[in-house]
Amino acid sequence: MRGSKIISMTVNNIKLLDSLNFFPMSLAKLPKAFGLAGNFKKGFFPYHFNTAENQNYVGKYPDIKYYNPDAMTTDDREKFINWYNENKDSVFDMQKGNCFLLYI
């Protein structure tokens, strides 16, 4: 910790780091900063839908409100809305979409 700010924590032998303490930008901007091709990008995830009771959810994409579009920049919100409208009727599998599972 640095003051009241959590820098990292370890849970069950998994070390979690707050990337904003190491990079002066959001995760979405890292590929461009490192000169990586457009194949890498941080997608959109319904963080407010990520609850214990929804961990095994498979169905239509969660309502747009669960992605908190009002907290996005104008440009990101526009990209998100286009992406959401293209995907909202597809099948969303929380286990496949949950970014936490990618690192375990």
Q: Dihedral sign, CA of 60, 96, 52, 77?
A: negative
Residue 11 and residue 50 in one domain:
no
pLDDT at 65 (0 to 100): 97
Give the percent of the chain with pLDDT over 70. 88
The whole-model pTM stands at 0.68
Of 50, 82, 86, 60, nearest in space to 69 by CA: 82
Total of domains in the chain: 2
Containing structural domain, residue 86: 43-103
Whether residues 83 and 65 share a domain: the answer is yes
One domain for residues 21 and 55: no
If asked whether residues 49 and 96 sit together in one domain, one would say yes
Question: How large is the C-alpha radius of gyration of the chain?
Answer: 16
The reported pLDDT for the residue numbered 53 is 95
Say how far apart CA 75 and CA 73 lie, in whole Å. 5
Query: Distance of alpha carbon 78 from its chain centroid, rounded?
Result: 17
Do 92 and 73 fall within a single domain? yes
57 and 92 together in one domain: yes
Instruction: Look at residues 36, 89, 44, 46 and name the one whose alpha carbon lies nearest to residue 66.
Output: 46
The average pLDDT across 15-36 equals 81
* pLDDT tens digits along 50-81: 999 999 999 999 999 999 999 999 999 999 99
Distance in angstroms (rounded) separating the CA atoms of residues 62 and 42: 18
Q: Name the percent of the chain lying above pLDDT 90.
A: 44
* Residues 29, 54 share a domain: no
Do 66 and 48 form a contact (C-beta atoms < 8 A)? yes
